[in-house]
């Protein structure tokens, strides 16, 4: 599906694409390739991508954290937009379970690689990619 959307991104009239866990079953170098492909789609369309992979989340223009909580037999979902420091911490957590100094350094490297020479990571443009990382709280 991603390959089709990438090929049709200029001709398709759909304004927003939603990719829910498009990263299922991949990791490492493959995740980096998929992340760049999603970013390519986001250059022409708004993309909302739910992911558990830091390689994909780092490519986003905006990063949201989605948390599911169970309270009194009901599931509650909370969504928070992450600022720069919280984003780095979340990417670090996604990388290694805890936001250690080493994981934060790797997260900073992912963000720097995603930024490239002329692309800001956080933007106010209406189109672009937003990644949502998720975690289930007990």
Count of beta carbons in the 10 Å neighbourhood of residue 6: 13
Residue-level pLDDT at 23: 84
Strand order in the sheet with 16-20: 16-20, 46-51, 129-136, 62-71, 74-81
Q: Classify domain 15-118+128-136 by CATH architecture.
A: 3-Layer(aba) Sandwich (3.40)
Spatial distance between the Cα atoms of 114 and 87, rounded to a whole number of angstroms:
13
Residue-level pLDDT at 125: 42
What's the whole-number mean pLDDT along residues 110-128? 62
Residue 110, pLDDT > 70, answer yes
Enter the pTM of the model: 0.74
| 124 Cβ neighbours under 8 A, 6+ residues apart | none
Select from 113, 108, 45 the least CA-distant residue to 19.
45
Tokens coding 78: 């909370």
Distances (CA, A) of 55 to 47, 60, 72, 114: 16, 10, 35, 9
Confidence of residue 95 (pLDDT cuts 50, 70, 90): very high
Is 40 buried (19+), middle (13-18) or exposed (0-12) by CB count in 10 A? middle
Spatial distance between the Cα atoms of 58 and 56, rounded to a whole number of angstroms:
5
């Amino acid at each position: 599906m991603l390959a089709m959307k990438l090929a049709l991104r200029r001709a398709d009239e759909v304004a927003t694409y939603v990719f829910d866990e498009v990263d299922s079953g991949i990791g490492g170098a493959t995740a980096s390739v998929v992340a760049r492909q999603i970013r390519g789609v986001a250059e022409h369309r708004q993309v909302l991508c739910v992911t558990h992979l830091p390689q994909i989340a780092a490519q986003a223009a905006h990063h949201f954290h989605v948390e599911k909580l169970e309270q009194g037999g009901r599931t509650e979902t909370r969504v928070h937009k992450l600022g720069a420091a919280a984003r780095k911490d979340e990417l670090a957590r996604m990388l290694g379970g805890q936001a250690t100094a080493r994981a934060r350094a790797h997260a900073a490297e992912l963000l720097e690689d995603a930024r490239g020479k002329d692309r800001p990571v956080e933007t106010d443009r209406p189109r672009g990619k937003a990644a949502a990382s998720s975690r289930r709280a007990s």
